[in-house]
Every structure is written in structure tokens, then in C-alpha cells.
Amino acid sequence: MTDAYPLQSERRVRVYARAVVGLVARDLRVLRRDFMPFLLRTVMNPIMFVFVFAYLLPKIGEGFHTGPSNTSFGTILVPGLVAVGMIFQGIAAVALPLVNEFGRTREIEDRLMAPVPIGMVAIEKIVFGSIQSLLAALVVFPVVYIIPATPVEVHVDHWPLLIAVLLLASLISGAFGLVIGTIFRPQRVPLIFSTIVIPITFLGCVYYPWALLAPMRWLQVFVLVNPVVYISEGLRAALTPEVPHMPPVAFLSAIVVVLSALTAAGMHFFLRRVTS
């Protein structure tokens, strides 16, 4: 009788795992069918910023340089735009569809019929968002590396650090999308961009290192509530170590804390929305 409980638990885990994999496979099939819209929403924003600030302005003699080594603005942009591309993809992949599933289409009811606890459906959303976020990083990186007119000095100084930051950032992206998707109603979708996407982009140390905000200490402290800051600084440390950046222990600790907080909040709001 005692041996039956571990067997039942193991069988339950296998059933849950197969169900989650099935949900992810279903979403990936939809993604493959809609790959062009995914590609366009992923690269359009980074392309425009890189084209204007790292290609057009240097061509007309208005290039930007910063730091003691006269680092090109293109080098500054690469880690930041990869970071914001990953976060934006999580919002687009999880938050916007989730708003519709809870509202207009009611598709969430079909997902809740899967033979898994309700919380596992939320976890699947985070996992799927993280997969799209990693794909976005792979798409954005060559774009922001090739386009700039000035030399872009990017080299991986620490592979384990880069992999850790990318994986944690992708999970943050999915968890962030889950939080937004469970809070906003369909009629308030435009507010997502005006109150969330634009502020976290421009105050996320995407176009400047966090250290350069030191003359404005109040702003340097204020932006620490923005998860994009830690992702940008982490990618900056891994890809452009010559550019000023936070110590790894600082941004890695912050990323783990942010991921835990967003996951807990997303699960809470998802369960409350489902049972309400």
C-alpha cells in the first residue's frame, strides 16, 4: 500500500508533463503558422531605433559616443535592444492573447479543461512566452549588430553568464506577460503600451548604461523598479563588458527577485481571474 503512493505521484507527474507539453506544442504550432507576424512585431521596433540612432545619425555626422573608451552608440544599443525585444515579445506572446482569451474568445475555458491543475495552465503560459522571448533574442541580435554604421564591438566575455541572463530574462518576459494579461481588460489594451511598454523601454537603460545616470541620483534609484534595467545590464556585462555595467551579483540577484515576484503575482492574478 505504501508503494502505491509514489507510483501514483509519478504517474500524475507524467500526466501533467504530457498535458503541459501538449499545450506548448499547440501554441508553437500556431506560432509557426503566424511566423511572419511574429517576425514583424519582433524586429520592427529595434530596426527603427538602430536605423535612426546607429545608422542615419552617424551617416549625417551626428554620431553618439559615450564612456572613457569613446564607445559607439551602436555598441551601447545592442544589449539594451535585445533586452527590450525579449520583454516586448513576452507581452505580445502572453499578455495580449490572454486578454482576448479571458474576454472576447473565452478560449481560456478550453485550456482549463486540460487534465492539469489550473496553476499549470499559467505555468505553460510563462514557458511559452519564454520560448518566444528567446526566439526574439535570436532574431533581434543580428539585426542590431549588422545595421549600425559605426563599428559595434560585441564579444561574449562569459558564456555561462550570457546563458543565465537570457534564460532568466525569457522567464521574466513570460511572467510579466502573465501579470499584464490577467490585470488588463480588453477595452484597456491601449493602456498597456502607453503606461507600461513605453516607460519601461525609455527608462530601462536600453540606450544608456545605468552607471551614467549617477549625476541624477534620484532617477538612477527610481529606475531600479524596472526589470528591463537588470536585463539590459546583464546582457551588457556579457556582450559588451567594456561598457560600464552593474556587478553581476547585483543584477543576477535582482533578476531572480523580480522573476519570483512576477511569477507569484501572475499566478495569483490568474487564479483569481479564473475563479471569479
Alpha carbon distances (Å) from 195 to 97, 189, 202, 219: 18, 10, 12, 18
Q: Work out the average pLDDT over 114-120.
A: 73
SS3 41: helix
Q: What is the pLDDT of residue 107?
A: 64
The residues, ordered by sequence, that sit 6+ positions from 80 with a Cβ below 8 Å of its Cβ are 204, 205, 206, 207, 232, 235, 236
Q: How far apart (Å, rounded) are the C-alpha atoms in residues 152 and 46?
A: 15
Report pLDDT digits (tens) over 68-101: 456 777 788 888 888 988 898 888 888 888 877 7
Q: What is the pLDDT of residue 68?
A: 46
Q: Work out the average pLDDT over 92-111.
A: 73
98: closest CA among 120, 126, 74, 70? 126
Q: How far apart (Å, rounded) are the C-alpha atoms in residues 265 and 96?
A: 17
Whether the per-residue pLDDT at 7 is higher than 50: the answer is no
Q: What single-letter amino acid sits at 113? A: M
- Summary mean pLDDT of the chain: 81
